[in-house]
Amino acid sequence: MAVEQTYPLHARSFSLSPWLAIVVGMAAMYVPSFIDLFHGAWGTERNGHGPIVLVVACCYLYVRVRQLLAEGLIERKPAPLAGALMLLFGLLCFALGRSQTVLLLEAGSLIPVLAGIILVFFGTRTCARLWFAFFFMLFMVPLPASIVDFLTQPLKIGVSYASEHLLYALGYPIARNGVILVIGQYQLLVADACAGLNSLFTLEALGLLYMNLVRHQSLMRNTVLALLIVPISFTANTIRVVALALITYYLGDAAGQGFLHGFAGMLLFMSALLLIMGVDSLLRMVVSYQARRKGLPEPEAMPAQFRKAKLRDADKGLFAISLKPAVLLALGMLVSVLAVHMLTPQLAPATKMAKFDSFVPKQFGDWREVPSPYLQVSLSVEDGTDRSADPLYDDVLSRTYVNSKGEQIMLALAYAREQQQDVKIHLPEVCYVAQGFALKNQSRLSLEQAAGKPPVTGHRFLAQNKNRLEAVSYWVRIGNAMPDGALATRLKIFRDGMSGIISDGILVRASSLLNDPEESADAYALQQRFLSDFENAMNGPHPGLLVPA
């Protein structure tokens, strides 16, 4: 009787039709998503590990199922209620994530969808025995750019610092400015892909997979190996940056950014995997030595039941499921695809039709444009120079203005036609920190407008990088609002998306160089007057561009 309860459908004849229905439903959901991810987030160095993790996770899931079959641990105790709730949660995450371009929800929804299917047909105990496959899939999910930028900065600085000192010790002409390395005549930015965070996720995932497959019996060995993956990743990233710096130094910038850049990425993982294997070998020697001292048998490199896992014909009956629930699940997936089409927002009317250069006045009030004697801090976090072709922005402008007293203000504008969760304006705090600046004295900015209109709100701060001290004032407009901070920006974009529109956005930044922090109050007052004059000059011919109309 106990066997019948564990395998109630064991005698049912196996049919592919129910599984084909589920596959069709999942294909309708995830084939377009994965295509977009391959051409989007997964096609970048920041998230290039995503498809690798997905493939490895699917292979591991297949191997783990075979292993559980060999051990007789695949059970058929369906949990339809828990499975339906889990599946519903996954479908809601997919519909919201896909329609509102929240990649965290869109890609991450695959985990509760798969878990829900297993719960519906096999139950909680079988699902729990596959927990590592679902946990491993978390590493494929693209994190929000704001979180990556925040977490990556200390790692980028650490890798830059270590690379600079290592190359200097080897006698190379190397200097560092924040996360920018200057070797010889070349300048290299330690970007996110070289920072350690993304490769740390990947290497941690591979290390955990390695540990799960090998399944060491020693808790100490597993814990130490998992913790050491972090410094191993840092070391491997330092090796990669040093290799790229040497390639650029000897072969030129084209070689450093071309094929050999990709080769350096391969070198990263080769060196990391060798370090993991080397550390594991040392730990195995320690564990074996302790076992011999205690008179215990030495642990095996891999469990025998894993090596002998084979699929038997008699096990196919375990996978015989009914057509009706499979079709219901597939219909639920198709409904989520339909919900995506219904919730997908459309572009709102643009507030800007021409390039900034064609209409931003070169003279207004007491201000006139002059050739800039200083290089402005980039509007991008990806390199150290301004780029009009930045994929985040459709148009950028950098100018320097001077008044009749000779006081100078640097103006920067960045416009983006589409503001979505993972493609939106960078806040200046992120850009300045990414380029080696330390921020302090952050405060609110408020500009009064004409009677009946709310004030223009933004932020200001002091940024310092070695001998450069800069006072910065800025605001951001997203659609018809001026959100306060990264979270408010995300919520504004989400609300607009759920109401059916994709808003445009603009960053307005004014800055000036200081000799002493005590000059900041006067600098902010000057910037406030400049921004008020500029907003008044622009509001008449271009209402709604700089501030909500």
**Is the CB of residue 534 less than 8 Å from the CB of residue 364?**
yes
Chain centroid offset of residue 364 CA: 41
pLDDT grade for 389, boundaries at 50, 70 and 90: very low
Nearest Cα neighbor of 237 from 309, 163, 184, 340 is 163
pLDDT band (50, 70, 90) for residue 213: low
* Between residues 491 and 297, the one the model is more confident about: 491
Tell me the residue type at 449. Answer: Q
Catalytic residue (choose from 64, 129, 176, 240): 240
Over residues 470-478, the mean pLDDT reads 92
pLDDT at site 1: 35
| Of 183-197, 413-427, 474-488, highest mean pLDDT | 474-488
Q: Is 131 exposed, middle or buried (0-12, 13-18, 19+ CB in 10 A)?
A: exposed
Residue 400 pLDDT grade (very low, low, confident, very high; cuts 50, 70, 90) = very high
**Burial readout 159-196 (b: 16 or more C-beta within 10 A, e: otherwise):** bbebbbebbeeeeeebebbbbbbebeeebbbbbbbbbb
HEC letters along 441-472: EEEEEEECCCCCCCCEEEEEEEEEECCEEEEE
Residues 6 or more apart from 288 whose CB is under 8 A from it?
298, 299
With H, G, I as helix, E, B as strand and everything else as coil, classify residue 181: strand
Question: What pLDDT, on a 0 to 100 scale, did the predictor assign at position 32?
Answer: 92
Quote the pLDDT of residue 360.
92
Q: pLDDT at position 89, please?
A: 95
| Mean pLDDT for the chain overall | 78
Residue 228 predicted with pLDDT over 80: no
Average pLDDT over residues 27-40: 89
Does the annotation count 431 as an active-site position? no
Tokens of 16: 């592919």
Over 60: is that where the pLDDT of 193 sits? no
Q: Is 240 a catalytic residue?
A: yes
CB 380 within 8 A of CB 426: yes
Query: Which H/E stretch holds residue 356?
Result: helix 356-359
pLDDT on residue 399: 92
Tokens standing for residue 45 = 């160095």
What's the N-to-C CA distance of the chain in angstroms? Answer: 74
Q: How far apart are CA 437 and CA 461, in angstroms?
A: 11
CA dist., res. 226 & res. 131, Å (int): 18
Which segment of 185-199, 355-369, 377-391, 431-445 scores lowest on mean pLDDT? 377-391
Task: Decide: 330 and 24 in contact? Cβ < 8 Å.
Answer: yes
Higher pLDDT, 255 or 165: 165
Helix (H) / strand (E) element for 474: namely: strand 468-478
Residue 381 has pLDDT above 70, yes or no: no
- What pLDDT is stored for residue 11 in this prediction? 46
Tokens at 287, concatenated: 């564990």
Question: 138-157 pLDDT, tens per residue?
Answer: 888 887 766 666 666 677 77
Structure tokens at 390: 């930045």
Q: What is the pLDDT of residue 350?
A: 80
- In the set 46, 194, 431, 460, the catalytic residue is 194
Residue 484's nearest CA partner among 460, 512, 465 is: 460
Residue 476: what pLDDT? Answer: 92
Neighbours of 153 (CB within 10 A): 20
- What span, in angstroms and rounded, lies between the C-alpha atoms of 321 and 122? 10
Question: Residues 414-469: pLDDT tens digits?
Answer: 998 888 776 778 888 877 877 778 888 888 888 887 666 788 889 999 998 878 89
Q: What is the structure's pLDDT at 526?
A: 93
What percent of the chain has pLDDT above 70?
Answer: 75
* Spatial separation of the C-alpha atoms in residues 390 and 383, rounded to whole Å: 10
Report the pLDDT value the prediction gives residue 287, as an integer from 0 to 100.
67
What type of residue sits at position 98? R
Q: What is the pLDDT of residues 89-128, one digit of tens each?
A: 999 999 999 998 888 889 999 999 999 999 988 888 888 8
User: For residue 331, is pLDDT > 90?
Assistant: yes
Could you give the CA distance from residue 440 to residue 464 in angstroms, rounded to a whole number?
Answer: 8
Whether the per-residue pLDDT at 383 is higher than 50: the answer is no
Question: What letter would DSSP give residue 430?
Answer: H
For 21, 29, 79, 399, the CA distances from 329, given in Å and listed in that order, are 8, 12, 14, 58
Asked if residue 368 has pLDDT above 90, the reply is yes
Q: What is the pLDDT of residues 490-548, one digit of tens each?
A: 889 889 888 888 888 999 999 999 988 888 899 999 999 999 999 888 887 888 888 88
Question: Number of C-alpha atoms within 13 angstroms, CB side, residue 469?
Answer: 11
> What's the confidence (pLDDT) of residue 186?
74
